[in-house]
Structure 1
Amino acid sequence: MASPHDIVREDWLALTQEDILAPGQPVFDCHHHLWDRPEGRYRSEELMDDMGAGHDVRASVYVQCRTGYRDDGPEVLRPVGEVETVLDWTSGQERFPVGIVAMADLQLGDGVRPVLDALIEAGAGRVKGIRNTTAWHADPVVRSNPNPPPEGLLRTDTFRDGARAVAAHGLTLDVWAYQTQLDEVRALAEAVPELTVIIDHCGGPLGVGPHDRFGPDNFNAWRDALAPVAALPNTRIKIGGFGLGVFGWRYADGALPPHSETLAGDWRPWVETCLALFGPDRAMFESNFPVDKGQVGYRTLWNAFKRLAAPLGRDEQDALFWRSAARTYGIDEQIFAHDYGRISS
Structure 2
Amino acid sequence: MISRLLHSGLPKEEAIEPDLPIVDPHHHLWDRSPILHLVDPPQFGWQEVMLRAPRYMIDDFCADLCGGHRVVATVHVEASHAYRPDGPEALRPVGETEFVAAADSTCARGYGKGVNVCAAIVGHADLTLGSGVVPVLQAHVKAGNGRFRGVRHSAAYDPDPAVLGPANEREGLYRTQAFRAGFAQLAPMGLSFDAWLLEPQLADLIDLAAAFPETSIILDHLGTPVGNGSYAGRLQERFPIWKSHIARLAELPNVSLKLGGLGMDYTALPSFMVDPPASSAQLAAEWRPWIEGGIEAFGPDRCMFESNYPSECGAGGYGTIWNAFKRIVTGASAQEKAALFSQTAARVYRIDL
TM-score, normalised to structure 2's length? 0.88
After TM superposition, give the deviation of residue 213 of structure 1 in Å: 5.2
Which residue among 26, 29, 33 is the counterpart of 1:34?
29
Q: How does 1:130-209 map to 2 (within 5 A)?
A: 130-143=151-164, 146-209=166-229
The aligned counterpart of 1:90 is 104
Which residue among 305, 308, 322 is the counterpart of 2:328?
308
After TM superposition, give the deviation of residue 266 of structure 1 in Å: 0.9
Which residue among 57, 75, 81 is the counterpart of 1:67?
81
The aligned counterpart of 1:9 is 6
Kept in 2, the 8 Å contact 1:213–1:247? The answer is no
Which residue among 56, 69, 74 is the counterpart of 1:55?
69
The aligned counterpart of 1:23 is 18
Identity score, percent: 43
Q: Deviations over 1:109-149 (max 9, x none)?
A: 12211111111011111101100121111111111x64421
Kept in 2, the 8 Å contact 1:12–1:256? The answer is no
After TM superposition, give the deviation of residue 170 of structure 1 in Å: 0.4
Kept in 1, the 8 Å contact 2:101–2:145? The answer is no
The aligned counterpart of 2:92 is 78
The aligned counterpart of 2:43 is none
Kept in 2, the 8 Å contact 1:213–1:219? The answer is no
SS where residue 245 of structure 1 aligns? Answer: coil
Letter in 2 for 1:274: G
The aligned counterpart of 1:342 is none
Distance 1:157 1:12 in 2: 47
The aligned counterpart of 1:249 is 269
Q: Deviations over 1:152-187 (max 9, x none)?
A: 211111211211101111011000010111000001
Q: Deviations over 1:32-58 (max 9, x none)?
A: 000011241100000001111110000
SS where residue 60 of structure 1 aligns? Answer: strand
Kept in 2, the 8 Å contact 1:119–1:127? The answer is yes
Distance 1:278 1:19 in 2: 30
The aligned counterpart of 2:40 is none
In terms of mean alpha carbon deviation, does 54-63 or 226-235 score higher?
A: 226-235
Q: Deviations over 1:214-245 (max 9, x none)?
A: 65431111111222111100000000011110
Q: Deviations over 1:59-117 (max 9, x none)?
A: 10000011111111111111111111122332245821100000111001122111111
SS where residue 272 of structure 1 aligns? Answer: helix
Q: How does 1:205-284 map to 2 (within 5 A)?
A: 205-212=225-232, 215-284=235-304
Distance 1:61 1:327 in 2: 12
SS where residue 149 of structure 2 aligns? Answer: strand
Kept in 2, the 8 Å contact 1:160–1:191? The answer is no
Letter in 1 for 2:24: D
After TM superposition, give the deviation of residue 262 of structure 1 in Å: 0.9
Kept in 2, the 8 Å contact 1:160–1:192? The answer is no
SS where residue 142 of structure 1 aligns? Answer: helix
Distance 1:125 1:200 in 2: 23
In terms of mean alpha carbon deviation, does 57-66 or 106-115 score higher?
A: 106-115
TM-score, normalised to structure 1's length? 0.90
Q: Which runs of 5+ in 1 are unaligned?
A: 1-6, 336-345
After TM superposition, give the deviation of residue 150 of structure 1 in Å: 1.7
In terms of mean alpha carbon deviation, does 86-95 or 104-113 score higher?
A: 86-95
Kept in 2, the 8 Å contact 1:179–1:226? The answer is no
Kept in 2, the 8 Å contact 1:26–1:58? The answer is yes
Q: How many residues align?
A: 324
Distance 2:170 2:57 in 1: 29
Q: Deviations over 1:17-44 (max 9, x none)?
A: 3221101100111000000112411000
Distance 2:242 2:146 in 1: 36
Distance 1:62 1:173 in 2: 13
Distance 2:235 2:55 in 1: 36
Kept in 1, the 8 Å contact 2:264–2:311? The answer is yes
Distance 1:295 1:105 in 2: 31
SS where residue 161 of structure 2 aligns? Answer: coil
Does 2:120 correspond to 1:125?
Answer: no
Which residue among 306, 320, 333 is the counterpart of 1:286?
306
